[in-house]
Amino acid sequence: MLEVINIDTFYGESQILWEVSLKVEAGQTVALLGRNGMGKTTAVRSIMGLTPPRCGTIRFDNQEITSLRPYQVARTGLALVPQGRHIFSSLSVRENLVFGMRGKGFSEDNIYSYFPILKERAQHKGNQLSGGEQQMLSIARALLTNPKLLLMDEPSEGLAPIIIQTIGDIILKLKEEGLSILLIEQNVALAVQVSDYIYILHKGKIAHQCSTQELVKNERIQAEYIGVSRFGGR
Residue 83 lies in a domain: no
Band (pLDDT 50/70/90 cuts) for residue 228 is low
pLDDT tens readout for residues 55-68: 999 999 989 999 99
Please say if the pLDDT value at position 202 is more than 50. yes
Asked whether residue 171 falls in the same domain as residue 129, the answer is no
Q: Where a domain ends, among 128, 146, 164? A: 146
* 77 DSSP assignment: T
Percent of the chain with pLDDT over 90: 71
Indicate if 140 and 179 belong to the same structural domain: no
The rounded distance, in Å, linking the Cα atoms of 124 and 207 is: 44
In a domain, 92, yes or no: yes
Q: What angle do CA 54, 74, 81 make, to 5 degrees?
A: 95
Residue 82 lies in a domain: no
d(CA 60, CA 172): 23
Which helix (H) or strand (E) segment is 56 a member of? strand 55-60
Question: Could you tell me if 154 and 140 lie in one domain?
Answer: no
Cα separation, 19 vs 123, in Å, equals 46
Domain boundary among 146, 166, 183: 146
Instruction: Give 149 or 157, the one with higher predicted confidence.
Output: 149
User: Last residue of some domain: 146, 161, 186?
Assistant: 146
Instruction: Burial-class residue 183 by CB neighbours within 10 Å (0-12, 13-18, 19+).
Output: buried
Number of domains in the chain: 2
Are the C-beta atoms of residues 78 and 47 closer than 8 Å to each other? yes
Q: Structural domain of residue 106, as residue ranges?
A: 88-146
108-124: per-residue pLDDT in tens? 888 998 999 999 999 99
Phi, psi of 128 (to 5 degrees): -95, 0
Residue among 28, 30, 11 nearest 184 (CA): 30
Whether residues 132 and 215 share a domain: the answer is no
Write down the pLDDT at residue 60.
Answer: 97
**Taking the CA atoms of the chain, what radius of gyration do you get in angstroms?**
17
26/52 Cα distance (integer angstroms): 24
- Separation CA 75–CA 131 (nearest Å): 28
pLDDT at 29 over 80: yes
182 pLDDT exceeds 80? Answer: yes
CA distance 220 to 49: 35
Cα(103)–Cα(61) distance, rounded to whole angstroms? 17
Mean of per-residue pLDDT scores for the chain: 90
**What's the pLDDT at 179?**
94
pLDDT digits 0-9 by tens, 189-199: 999 999 999 99
With a cut of 50, say whether residue 98 has pLDDT above it: yes
Segment 4-25 shows an average pLDDT of: 96
- Nearest-angstrom CA–CA distance, 196 and 179: 13
CATH number at residue 44: 3.40.50.300
Whether residues 132 and 161 fall in one domain: no
> What average pLDDT does this structure show over 198-218?
92
Same domain, 159 and 98: no
What pLDDT sits at residue 13?
Answer: 92
Residues 6+ apart with CB under 8 A from 120: none
Q: Do 135 and 21 belong together in one domain?
A: no
pLDDT of 218: 82
pLDDT higher than 70, residue 229: no
As a whole-number percent, the residues of the chain with pLDDT over 70 amount to 97
Of 195, 175, 174, 196, the closest CA to residue 185 belongs to 195
In a domain, 231, yes or no: no
234 domain residue, yes or no: no
The mean pLDDT value for 186-190 works out to 90
| pLDDT tens digits along 65-86 | 999 999 999 999 999 999 887 8
160 and 117 fall within a common domain: no
